[in-house]
Amino acid sequence: MYSIFKTTHSYAAWAVLILLVITVIYAALTFFGNKSWKVSEFKLAFFTFVSCHIQLLLGLVLYFTSPFGMSNLSGETMKDSFSRLLAVEHPFVNILGIVMITMGYIKAKKLLDTVNAPKTIFIYYGIGLLLFLSRIPWSNWL
């Protein structure tokens, strides 16, 4: 069961990152082009928002079932940088990234049909993307 969730979480991460990069780039182009987002264009931000939350659910299952997650929290874990990354930094920072994406989605939804909607998506989703990229366990993932 653990290996299924771990594999799904790893492959879903690619989908989330690709969607997030596309959304941030599209929002940047729209914002710097001084255009507004309509409801149909906002669907990309919605799909990215949903995929991030599905990834969060997979990650939470892994956190509580993995030998590298919650069960690995100890003083020894804090001394080892890779164990600390998996048990503390990766979950905490990625949850902060999802909070940023959620805040951006909620704010931008209220600003539809204005030039501020793509700006909000660009800023909040961009911060979320940077947070994700900063705490991915690259040596373990690739």
- The 10s digit of each residue's pLDDT in 19-70 is 999 999 999 999 999 888 878 788 999 999 999 999 999 999 999 988 888 8
pLDDT tens digits for 62-116?
999 888 888 778 888 788 888 888 888 999 999 999 999 999 999 999 988 888 9
pLDDT confidence of residue 6: 87
* Contact in structure between 62 and 69 (CB atoms under 8 Å): yes
Here the tokens at position 84 are: 């600390």
Q: Which residue has the tokens 């501020």?
A: 116
- Residue-level pLDDT at 61: 92
- HEC readout, the chain: CHHHHHHHHHHHHHHHHHHHHHHHHHHHHHHHCCCCCCHHHHHHHHHHHHHHHHHHHHHHHHHHHCCCCHHHCCHHHHHCHHHHHHHHHHHHHHHHHHHHHHHHHHHHHHCCCCCHHHHHHHHHHHHHHHHHHHCCCHHHHC
Q: What is the pLDDT of residue 142?
A: 59
- Separation of alpha carbons 120 and 124, rounded Å: 6
Q: Provide the 10 A C-beta neighbour count for residue 60.
A: 13
Instruction: State the pTM of this model.
Output: 0.90
**Would you state the pLDDT for residue 83?**
83
Q: Which two tokens stand for residue 61?
A: 């299952």
Per-residue confidence (pLDDT) for residue 114, from 0 to 100: 83
Q: Which one-letter amino acid corresponds to residue 32?
A: F
